[in-house]
Amino acid sequence: MPIEQKKIDSSDLLDLTTYSKERKAIRKEVVAMKKNRRVELGPHSTFYFENFFTMKAQIQEMLYIEKGGDEQLRDELEAYNPLIPNGSELVATFMFEIDNPLTRKKVLSSLGNVENKTYIKVNGNKIFAVPENDVDRTDNSGKTSSVHFLHFKFEDHHVKDFKDMDCTVEIGTDHEHYPHISVLTNEVKAALIKDFD
């Protein structure tokens, strides 16, 4: 997909009536595509790698649920278009998923600024995340948010190495209270490689 087509506009979206009729099939397709765009990290967190199609599906679903019209459409496009990779980056929603509220508060309170210590390691080189600049994700008490939007900006040689299926790619954090690493499977790499085209 050419760079200039990496933004969603209203012409990319189905009207609500059509979406309502096709919603079940579309959601099934999106779930299947997301399968290899997901990486668990440690006991509490998961990366969901975004692209044009995941963001389009998110916008479409938000419009379907909330039915907010043109004003909502503008807000959704403004919120989600920045999360579409630009051809030289990977973009992920990094979520801490902890059901127990007491455990969640304790864990998140110990992980201040985790978003600044998160990386993808390609051929021994760490590419640290650049958080989306919408709001500060760590509050004054040091408690982090359960959801982070992260950009991993690659240089050309990182992309070349990432595309080599023999090259090990890891994702992790250097945070002292969450020092976890996961290795990307070849299936995940194959799905994410398309974000660089």
| Mean pLDDT, each 10-residue run in order, the chain (197 residues) | 67 93 95 95 97 95 89 91 94 96 95 95 96 73 90 96 96 97 97 93
pLDDT, residue 138, reads 72
**Residue 2: what pLDDT?**
45
At 133 the pLDDT is 78
DSSP tag of 2: -
User: What pLDDT is attached to residue 81?
Assistant: 93
- The number of domains in the chain is 1
User: How far is the C-alpha of 19 from the C-alpha of 64, rounded, in Å?
Assistant: 8
pLDDT at 39: 98
- Looking at the chain, list the stretches that DSSP marks H as alpha helix, in order from N- to C-terminal side: 16-34, 52-66, 69-80, 101-109, 156-163, 186-193
Q: Note whether 127 and 158 are within 8 A (CB).
A: yes
Nearest to 152 by CA among 173, 177, 176: 173
Residue-range definition of the domain harbouring residue 31? 3-196
- Which residue type is seen at 131? P
Provide the pLDDT for residue 126. Answer: 98
Q: Does residue 152 sit in helix, strand or coil?
A: strand
